[in-house]
Structure 1
Amino acid sequence: MSTDTFEGRVALVTGAGSGIGRAMAVAFAAAGARVVVADIETARAKETADSIGAAALPVAADISDEASVAELVRAADDTFGRIDVLCNNAGIMDTMARPVDTSVEVWDRVLRVNLTGTFLVTKAVLPFMLRQGGGSIVNTASEAGIRGGAAGIAYTASKHGVVGITRNVAWMHAKDGIRCNAILPGPTMTGIGGDAPNWDAEGLAALQPILGLNQSIAQPEQMAAVAVFLASEAASFVNGAIVPVDGGWSAG
């Protein structure tokens, strides 16, 4: 792929302070894009932006908050005047607990970030793409978006929802020149679980038959490469695709 694929275009990446999001921001910048580096943690957003240089704008944003999302897209507009690519990557994990052991607090928080947050950012960015006559959205779903045994109920429901958002936006806006696809990462070296995840032992035991099917762990850059492809002109006729990036896990 040519390094000037995204020359003159702007990519907004959420959750870009670490893991897959950081790899996406770096990859789009390497492909010629200017990048809005969004993360809930200011220091992490700045660290990613500093690694990219002048082509990056760090913005602290909580995607679960509509006002914060409005400020995010306003900052992108004020600085770059356009948004051509959106990577809805920000997300949080649940505790892997069984449904009976999942608190309403965990349910509400995970759904608010992973599902409502994806909706809020998409809704805020779509007017830019409609105004420009096109654009590309790449959502980070998960293996949990197509199976029931890869996470707890909150995360699983949220990622199934992200798959639904992906397909709906693809269908509703295809005639507007807007494409929307999703990647489904398998096990990847990221910090989504935190330094010491408070995972539920019984839930993990129930999930082991599925979690144990794939022992390969990907690097964030492998996810980012697929996101860049899906957003590129090379994938101009790919719309509504749900793409496992899991080393074959979903084939089992």
Structure 2
Amino acid sequence: IHGQSYYVAFQGGIARKFNEAWSGAVGLRLVDAERKFKGEGNFEIAHKDIPNLKVNPKFDIDSERTAFGASGIFGLNYHPNDKFNLAMRYETETKLDFDNKESKLRKGFKDSVGVLGDKFYDIIGKDPAIKQWMSEGSGRRNLPAVAALGASYKVAEKTTLLASGNYYFIKEAGDDLGNFDHYDNGYEVAVGVDYELNEKWTLMTGYQYTNTGANEKTYTDTDYVLDADMYSMGAKYKYNSQLDLMGTYSFVQYKTDKNLKDITYKKRVSAIGLAAIYKF
């Protein structure tokens, strides 16, 4: 099996200062989603009452799912002095109504087992983990709404402490195929430190814990979301008064877990981030 998933987002917004301490922002995010899955397998099925009857169905799937959606972003910021800043954000649910294209699966069964092909196709179509990739599996798999809170406090001339949290409304998200069945709402909490070496360079480090809301009843071979610890470090270079350049490295240690069939799921991810911030 081989899978790919792309969620490309285009985002813009506007912020306005209400007074010396308060400001607000509104924005719009457009999401172009694409999920692909290719898989192939050969099986042998025997009938318990007919020892000499064996069939060899071939599982052959090449599926592409695409969707386009939009969400609103609303923010509020409180900055009473040079040391403390508090930010709040709410993102609406992103409706993603996926359109599926898949043509090889039924043909693979028919080519391998003849008249029984349609029967095998109907049987596996009852499994939500497979149906979502079949042509009959078109439907919503929305991105949940998000509430977020972040704060920073400058404890010394060169040192700033940071903390943030995100809460994901997964149970309320639209889902036609049961992808979010048995999920709880998820959350993230993070802490970090910025240290200014000099006028040009700032070092950054942080930690984040993610609780995805998933559990042993939600894991499938093509979709398993594990809780995780993420450790990050980076540096920011102030090129001039308008341009900041940043680079970061993150290591994500996912929690090993098992599903109801005692299958173990685990993974590790390393990520590199590059950013440029230009102030007009």
TM-score range, shorter chain: 0.3 to 0.5
Larger Cα-atom Rg: 2
The normalised TM-score by structure 1 is: 0.33
The normalised TM-score by structure 2 is: 0.31
Q: Which has the higher contact order (CA 8 A, sep 6+)?
A: 1
- Bigger helix fraction: 1
